[in-house]
Structure 1
């Protein structure tokens, strides 16, 4: 009798499952969430302080890959967002850093700068920041997953990118986006680019006119939970944290309204958890006003939370301020998920959450706890190197720019090969330098196979530096407070990867995946083409038993 019931019941289950899949062959909406500077461990170190409906809901009701990494250098915001949504690395998508040295102009190039476009603001907004460059995705090479969705549906799908940072809104949305909106730190409004539109949609004007940014900038930031709940972070009164102008300590509470005048005005919102709250409010407004997930084709929205990065840079990865920011982001995510379930429908949207990079400890903190560490200063290193080059080659050879991983070299002093070899020799004498690589064909034989692979994915001939420098673990650029990132070590590469919603079965995996596999996975889930340079390997666990 039991066998008969099973034989009858199993086909019925398969029938209902197959029928449901046929009724809903694709999700109504893709929601791509990027949390700026989020280490994978934050899912677990702060776990006890999360609600049941934010991070925990995604972890338990969705699929959690616990071993997701970046596979290039430097690990920064621009390259991170470009990699997630193009499915490839800087070698192909061309966003080699947030800024790089442009050899033709002899100037620095910002990753989304575009002098051919202009800012689009509210008609009443006259206080925008005139010191920053207008922006667009034109520096991004190849297509994104959102571009391919647009092309596949003959542009019927809507695609919108949102963030507090311009690069984090623009790069995920791709070349064919309907809109990208980001926060203007001078006016407290969300703005866009003439690349997308001549005027802001009326609902963005209405959102700006409500002055939610004024409400939040006048908030007193104090811990959301009782002090005993923050036991996995350092004490509030810890060293190596940013002290805002007008304060004598980096301790709660922070009266943002009093601090704003001497600490960047509305930009202070980005240095608090309330920037994430503002962005969540914008996201729900955009989804509702644009009717995302209500059409015949799949729509796409990217939401990049930037305040986590600013707070991390200010206070460090073990600060009470950072933990409180994640606790509050958890509540923002819970609000977003509840809204999506009500507006789009539970099971009708596919959401993924990852980060554009992770973060490392402050070297001063590492020294205090007896972990090997050290610091270097790119400016002073550049001066020393240029002095040596002048002695060796005269005025004809110099380093035009050096950041944390790359050096750009200008020379008309004979053989560039000779100059690069000399730079390699000089750099090897600096304390903290582990290896020096010349990826331009001068020195193609690299003994470290892992670094060979890493540089192959990092180096873009037109935009990357002539020399790459790798430092020992724990070594970072000298800075006064907080955390930073950009290395190829696990501290900076290991990020979360959560999938939730449409056709995603609960589960987890410890298999290593890289962030450039996200776009390919989405392509296969949606049955649309890969982005032009995307790698082809997908996260197989998401397809098992379907």
Structure 2
């Protein structure tokens, strides 16, 4: 009898008061109403420290002063490109698990090269070109934004924004309400695909018709006196590509454009970041982000930093000016968040998708070992070697992104073992002067590496999508033009990225303890009290989370 009485009392405790149905349980008051994930394309960590004295108080300085900075944050895989970077930040794992092994790769099952976000099953919205035929379908893991959507029963919104399609699509994940990217050329519009919706929202059409993008086809001069830009190299140098050969300020973007590419110049200027900020703030307002009890996600990818780094190099005056202007855009974004969501109601993290190397032709002038790798010459020598060594052609199906794919049908016909071809190629390639390491599929699948370059390669090796032999070039050796910078390696200039958390759930502080890019998503999951992305291998950054505010 006592047991029945106890059960009845417990039952009464859960009955609604006054005969009313209890309100749907929503988020804890301590959780942020909005998470803003910012990725700055090609941002090296030292852009924080190098330009620190030139930054204002309300952008990078505010984030670091009032937030938590991880000063020894690294990518833990090769290759360090844009698509793998964005995917790894938001899935909490490496290409080994999320499947985005490059911006593009050779699909050995379809016998063709594929683009990371390309999707012919969807249609473009906002443009008549194929630029909108994109989706996240090739990313095989969930993002933290996906997990938030699942946790909130799809009530929490996700909006992804980036000038590059991959910078908008991959962070927002599979369940996003929308992802928008910028179609330059002669259009100057933010577009999307039918993966997300049937028609562009009115607010996007209004923004596209406002003339905002066209307003940035204007002269680009330095924000401050160029003589005070002492943290970067000379304005006139032989290490920059520039615009039609012009490599010094000021740049008249309109005069340097044609009718067919006028909006491309906006992308390769700091005004591309400003336009991205304009659009992000418009999205926050139109979509009422952070206005209800269910956490929303806004992902922002700043792409112009990468375009400018590739064009002018990481040590250029143009890069310094771009970051000083980005600092102002970040300040404006934070102000908008304070006004629209409320200080203390949102959480921001800022990081990068990869770094960038100093221009090797410049490094040579200061006696630092560096150089260039000729892909075409290498491929010719490789195929000649294979034909001489095995007395047959066509054993190599494709050479792509420093990976060699075997033609297994040709191997079988020639009675050549894959292991014999692996060994022969590894020995041959290692003799190549610009190559530092060579790894085979047998090594990647037959052992677990816990440190060094081999671990980075293994973390980027996907069994179904990667090649049969992978090579790693020496430090500061790249396959690129002799002007401008690039990225992709596992060396510090490409792996060391900023990581700053700010806002709700984030104490003030900093650490030099090593963190990895795959730790970001699990940390946000911990703040929100939701599941980690389904393939996550990173860990919550407890050194910050356990600190009392």
The TM-score normalised by the length of structure 2 is 0.91
Residue pairs, 1:456-467, within 5 angstroms:
456-467=458-469
* Displacement of 1:396: 3.6
Q: In structure 2, how many angstroms separate the alpha carbons of the residues matched to 1:85 and 1:402?
A: 26
Contact 1:36-1:309 at 8 Å conserved across structures: yes
Partner of 2:197: 197
Partner of 1:84: 89
Partner of 1:150: 149
Partner of 1:397: 395
Contact 1:35-1:356 at 8 Å conserved across structures: yes
Q: In structure 1, how many angstroms separate the alpha carbons of the residues matched to 2:494 and 2:202?
A: 40
Q: Structure 1, residues 58-100: CA drift from partner, whole Å, max 9, x if none?
A: 0111111100000000000000000000000000000001011
**Secondary structure, aligned partner of 1:541:** helix
Q: Structure 1, residues 242-262: CA drift from partner, whole Å, max 9, x if none?
A: 1312xx430000000111118
Q: In structure 1, how many angstroms separate the alpha carbons of the residues matched to 2:149 and 2:334?
A: 25
* Displacement of 1:156: 0.2
Partner of 1:140: 139
Contact 1:117-1:193 at 8 Å conserved across structures: yes
Q: In structure 2, how many angstroms separate the alpha carbons of the residues matched to 1:285 and 1:133?
A: 21
Q: In structure 2, how many angstroms separate the alpha carbons of the residues matched to 1:216 and 1:202?
A: 22
Q: Structure 1, residues 167-204: CA drift from partner, whole Å, max 9, x if none?
A: 00000000000000000023100000100001001000
Q: In structure 2, how many angstroms separate the alpha carbons of the residues matched to 1:464 and 1:265?
A: 37
Q: Is structure 2 residue 498 aligned with structure 1 residue 493?
A: no
* Displacement of 1:409: 2.4
Residue pairs, 1:157-168, within 5 angstroms:
157-168=156-167
Q: Structure 1, residues 477-535: CA drift from partner, whole Å, max 9, x if none?
A: 14121110000000100000011111212111000000000011111110000110112
Q: In structure 1, how many angstroms separate the alpha carbons of the residues matched to 2:256 and 2:538?
A: 49
5+ residue gaps, structure 1? 1-21
* Displacement of 1:454: 1.8
Contact 1:346-1:501 at 8 Å conserved across structures: yes
Q: In structure 1, how many angstroms separate the alpha carbons of the residues matched to 2:442 and 2:347?
A: 41
* Displacement of 1:545: 4.1
Contact 1:67-1:511 at 8 Å conserved across structures: yes
Partner of 1:175: 174
RMSD across aligned C-alpha pairs, in angstroms? 1.7
Partner of 1:239: 238
**Secondary structure, aligned partner of 1:483:** coil
CA spacing shift, 1:157–1:76, aligned 2, 3 Å: same
**Secondary structure, aligned partner of 1:400:** strand
Q: Structure 1, residues 441-466: CA drift from partner, whole Å, max 9, x if none?
A: 58846999423322331110111121
| Aligned match for 2:515, one of 505, 513, 516 | 513
Contact 1:437-1:468 at 8 Å conserved across structures: yes
Q: In structure 2, how many angstroms separate the alpha carbons of the residues matched to 1:297 and 1:191?
A: 27
Q: In structure 2, how many angstroms separate the alpha carbons of the residues matched to 1:441 and 1:40?
A: 32
Q: In structure 2, how many angstroms separate the alpha carbons of the residues matched to 1:531 and 1:447?
A: 24
**Secondary structure, aligned partner of 2:84:** helix
Residue pairs, 1:439-478, within 5 angstroms:
439-441=441-443, 444=446, 449-478=451-480
**Secondary structure, aligned partner of 1:101:** strand
CA spacing shift, 1:446–1:287, aligned 2, 3 Å: closer
**Secondary structure, aligned partner of 2:458:** helix
Residue pairs, 1:14-33, within 5 angstroms:
24-33=29-38
Partner of 2:361: 364
Partner of 1:5: none
**Secondary structure, aligned partner of 2:377:** helix
CA spacing shift, 1:391–1:545, aligned 2, 3 Å: closer
**Secondary structure, aligned partner of 2:420:** helix
Partner of 2:326: 329
Residue pairs, 1:513-532, within 5 angstroms:
513-532=515-534
CA spacing shift, 1:347–1:147, aligned 2, 3 Å: same
Partner of 2:351: 354
Q: In structure 1, how many angstroms separate the alpha carbons of the residues matched to 2:300 and 2:233?
A: 30
**Secondary structure, aligned partner of 2:114:** strand
Residue pairs, 1:11-410, within 5 angstroms:
24-121=29-126, 128-130=128-130, 132=131, 134-186=133-185, 187-217=187-217, 219-245=218-244, 248-261=245-258, 264-393=261-390, 394-403=392-401, 405-410=402-407
Contact 1:90-1:96 at 8 Å conserved across structures: yes
Contact 2:444-2:458 at 8 Å conserved across structures: no
Contact 1:235-1:319 at 8 Å conserved across structures: yes
CA spacing shift, 1:443–1:276, aligned 2, 3 Å: closer
* Displacement of 1:439: 2.9
* Displacement of 1:374: 1.8
Contact 2:239-2:483 at 8 Å conserved across structures: yes
Contact 2:93-2:538 at 8 Å conserved across structures: no
Partner of 2:418: 416
CA spacing shift, 1:40–1:316, aligned 2, 3 Å: same
5+ residue gaps, structure 2? 1-26
The TM-score normalised by the length of structure 1 is 0.91
Q: In structure 2, how many angstroms separate the alpha carbons of the residues matched to 1:48 and 1:529?
A: 40
Q: In structure 2, how many angstroms separate the alpha carbons of the residues matched to 1:289 and 1:79?
A: 30
**Secondary structure, aligned partner of 1:488:** coil
Contact 2:83-2:100 at 8 Å conserved across structures: yes
Contact 2:480-2:486 at 8 Å conserved across structures: no
Comparing 435-444 with 357-366, greater Cα deviation is found at 435-444
Contact 1:74-1:486 at 8 Å conserved across structures: yes
Partner of 2:16: none
CA spacing shift, 1:392–1:23, aligned 2, 3 Å: closer
Contact 1:129-1:185 at 8 Å conserved across structures: no
